[in-house]
Amino acid sequence: MEDQHLGQHLGQLLRELPQEQARPGFTARVLSRLEAPPAPGMQKRWQPRLAAAVAVTVALTGGLVYNSRIEAERAAKVARAQQILHELRAEHGRIKKELEALPDAPVLYLGGDEKTDLVVDMGQVRSAEGAESAESAEDIQPATYRYDTF
């Protein structure tokens, strides 16, 4: 209610202001300028400015398009890297579960060539904490020195 009263009061104050009047001959001058042909120098003055504005607009648009393309490529690379990381973590989890399911002291085949195979008896390897297995350190021998490996 107070807003309506304030609006009415403001409208009354605006109506009391004096009305602006155009100078004598204003309408005739405007109409004569509209009917008259443009001055010869007027047309050539805006052409270089327009050309410069168009050139700047084209340059900015090209820069923005290039920047958006670079950002799209970067986003695609980031998405691919995240996908690969997810796959690696999943594979790590699967391998970890398989290792946990193995018996306590497996024999691991690490590879080799035509002459040599590398095999590790995990029962003969010290644990990560430095504790020794059931045998003492002197009893640990390479598998090639043992006869029960064949």
Q: Could you state, in chain order, the average pLDDT of each consecutive group of 10 residues for the chain (150 residues)?
A: 77 83 87 79 73 91 92 94 95 89 74 86 68 55 58
CB proximity list for 143: less than 8 A, separation 6 or greater: 119, 120, 121, 124, 149
Distance CA(138)–CA(150), nearest Å, equals 22
Residue 135's pLDDT is what?
A: 53
Q: Which of 113, 108, 105 is nearest to 134 (CA)?
A: 105
Supply the pLDDT for residue 79.
95
CB 17 within 8 A of CB 11: no
The first and second tokens of residue 125, run together, are 């390897």
User: Domain residues of the chain, as ranges?
Assistant: 46-101, 104-150
Q: Are strands 117-121 and 107-112 parallel, antiparallel or unpaired?
A: antiparallel
